[in-house]
Structure 1
Amino acid sequence: MAILDPILDRFRKRPPTVSVVTLRGVIGGLGPTRRGLSLETVAPVLETAFKDKHTTAVALIVNSPGGSPVQSDLIARRIRDLAAEHEKPVTAFVEDVAASGGYWIACAADEILVNPASIVGSIGVVSAGFGFVEALDKLGVERRIHTAGSRKALLDPFSPEREEDVSYLKAVQVELHQLFIDWVRKRRGDNLKAEEEPELFEGKFWTGTRGIAIGLADGEGELRSVMRARHGDKTRFRQVERRRSLFERLRFGASADPVAIGEGTLTAIGERAVWSRFGL
C-alpha cells in the first residue's frame, strides 16, 4: 500500500474548484427561435454548479441589460436557495453591464465585483411601445376590436391612449419597482450609502467605480485572479453550460427557414435596443 500512498494523496488533496456559470443576455423569452435567460434555461446549469461535491465556490459571470422581472426574481431566488442548501459562497463578476434585471440577479451573490468600466444599477421598471393611431388614419384603415371585459384591450397600440389606462399601468409599475427595491435593500443592506438612496432607486445607472462608492458593488475584480488569490494558485475553474437538445441545435441551425430568419431579425432588433440603452 505504501507504493500507492503518493497517488492516493494526490486525490485526497484535490485542488479547490470554482464552478463558473455565465449569465449573459436579455432576460426572458425572446421568441421561438431565440432563448433569453430564464429559470428554465438557467436552473439545470445552476443545479450542476452547486451540487458538484468538489466545488469550493460558485462564480457568476453577469452580463445582462435586464428584461423580465419575473424571470430575474426566479433566477435570483434559485441561486439563493442552492447557495443555502449546499453552503457554497457565491461571487458575481460583472462584465459590461448588470443593469435592471441583470443587477437583480447579481444581487443574489454574496459579493458583487465589477470592472471600473462596467455599468451597474438601473433599479427601475420600464414599459415601452408604439402608437399607430395616426398611421391607421392615413392608411384609411378602421380598427375593430371586441372584448369581454372593459379593460381587456388596455393600451392597445392601434387605439387612442387613455389616461386611465396609463394610470393603471403606472400603478403596476410602482408595485414591481417596490419589489425590486426591497430585494436590493435585503441583499445589499448596510452597503448602500443612505445619502445616495434618493438616486439609487430612480432607474439611473453608474460605472463600476461609482457603483462601488455608492454601495451597489463591493469592489473591483476579475474572476481568475480573485479566485486564485482566495483559494490558491492551483484553483481549477469548471465552466458549467447548458446542453442544447438535438431539436434546438437543428432548429437554430435552420438558417434557410424564412420564418426563422424573420423572427430572428425582429428579436435581434429588440435585443439591440435593450443593450443600446447602455452604450453597448
Structure 2
Amino acid sequence: MKKLINRLLPKAWRSNSVTIPVIRLHGTIMAGGSPMRPALSLASTAGLIEKAFALDAPAIAISINSPGGSPVQSRLIYKRIRDLAVEKNRKVLVFVEDVAASGGYMIALAGDEIIADPSSIVGSIGVVSASFGFPELLKKIGVERRVHTAGQNKSVLDPFKAEKPEDVERLKSLQLEIHDTFIDMVKERRGARLKDDPDLFTGLFWTGKTGVELGLVDRLGDMRTILKERYGAKTRMKLISAPRGLLSRVGPFGSRANVTPDLASAAVESILDAAQERALWSRFGL
C-alpha cells in the first residue's frame, strides 16, 4: 500500500527513504526463562519475527548477541526466520554484536549474509553439557539419598551418585547426533564460502575478522553503515519490540512491592538462571 501511494504522489513529494525492520535477539537461549530474566526461545521471539516480516521492506535486519544455550530453541528460531524469509521473499541480514557462538551462531545461519565487528566472537560449533557431581557431599553432612525408579536408566547422571562410564558414553552419543545436525546446518547455509579448516567444527571460536577468512562471516561492519550503504542515505531502522506487559510497567514485585509466593519462587529461579547465563558468557571472556 505504501508503495502504491508513493507512486501516485507527484515526484517532488515522493519519499525515497527505506525502512528496515530490526529484531534484537540478545541473551542466552533456553525454553521458559522467568519474568525477571527472560530468555531467547521460539515462544519469546516468534511474535517479533512475525511482526518484522509483516512489514513491507526489502530486508529484515537481525542483531544477535548470544553465547548460545538450547540447541532445540536455537534451531526453532532459525527455522521460523528461514520459513518466513522464503514465504515473504525477504532478504535477511544478520549483524553480530559481542558474540554469536554455539546456539547464537546457529540462529545467525538464518541470515543470507552475516556481518560482524572485527572483535565479535563467532563459531563454537559444538555441543557441551555441564553439571556438578556431589557423591561424597551427602555422606559428609549425614544425609542419605533415596532414589526409586521404574526403569534402570531413569537416574542416569544423578549428580549425587558416582558417575558411570556407560552413562557418559550414552550422553556423548547424544551430543554427537546434535553436533552432526549443527554441522549439517552450517554446511548447508554457508556452502562454498567455508574454508577447509580442520578446526572449523571442533567447538573453537574466533574473532569476526578471522570468521571472514574461515567463511563463517561474510563481511565486517555495523548495521547502520551497511544498511545506508545498501539502501540509501535516507534508510531508517525500525526496532521491532514486544508490547510492554503489566509486570514491566509496575516492576517485578508490583507497585507496592508485594512479594507473593509465585514471585519469590521466580526470584530463586532467576538466580539459578543468572548463574547459568554467567557461565555461558564467561566462556568467551565476556
TM over 0.5, shorter chain = yes
**In the superposition, relative to structure 1, how do residues 114 and 136 fare at CA in structure 2: closer, same or farther (>3 Å)?**
same
Matched-pair identity in %: 51
One-letter code aligned to 1:238: K
Partner SS for 2:25: strand
Q: What residue in structure 1 maps to residue 201 of structure 2?
A: 201
Deviation per CA, 1:155-183: give whole Å up to 9, x if none: 01111111111100000000000000000
RMSD across aligned C-alpha pairs, in angstroms?
Answer: 1.9
Deviation per CA, 1:84-140: give whole Å up to 9, x if none: 111111111000000000000001100001101000000000000001111111112
Partner SS for 2:184: helix
Partner SS for 2:226: helix
| Correspondent of 2:265 among 250, 254, 259 | 259
Deviation per CA, 1:48-76: give whole Å up to 9, x if none: 111112x2211010000000000000000
Matching of residue 270 in structure 1 with residue 276 in structure 2? yes
**In the superposition, relative to structure 1, how do residues 132 and 84 fare at CA in structure 2: closer, same or farther (>3 Å)?**
same
Matching of residue 219 in structure 1 with residue 219 in structure 2? yes
Q: What residue in structure 2 maps to residue 126 of structure 1?
A: 128
Partner SS for 1:147: coil
Matched length: 273
One-letter code aligned to 2:43: E
Q: Is the 8 A contact 1:29 1:38 kept in 2?
A: yes
Shift of 1:203: 0.3
Q: What residue in structure 1 maps to residue 160 of structure 2?
A: 158
Partner SS for 2:143: coil
Q: Please list every run of 5 or more consecutive structure 2 residues that lacks an aligned counterpart in the other structure.
A: 1-6
One-letter code aligned to 1:142: E
Q: Is the 8 A contact 2:101 2:125 kept in 1?
A: yes
Shift of 1:6: 9.4
Partner SS for 2:59: strand
Partner SS for 1:228: helix
Q: Please list every run of 5 or more consecutive structure 1 residues that lacks an aligned counterpart in the other structure.
A: none
Matching of residue 38 in structure 1 with residue 41 in structure 2? yes
Shift of 1:241: 1.1
Q: Is the 8 A contact 1:124 1:201 kept in 2?
A: yes
Task: Measure the CA separation in 2 of the matches of 1:96 and 1:256.
Answer: 37
TM-score, normalised by the number of residues in structure 1: 0.92
Partner SS for 1:200: coil
TM-score, normalised by the number of residues in structure 2: 0.90
Partner SS for 1:19: strand
**In the superposition, relative to structure 1, how do residues 156 and 81 fare at CA in structure 2: closer, same or farther (>3 Å)?**
same
| Correspondent of 1:71 among 65, 70, 73 | 73
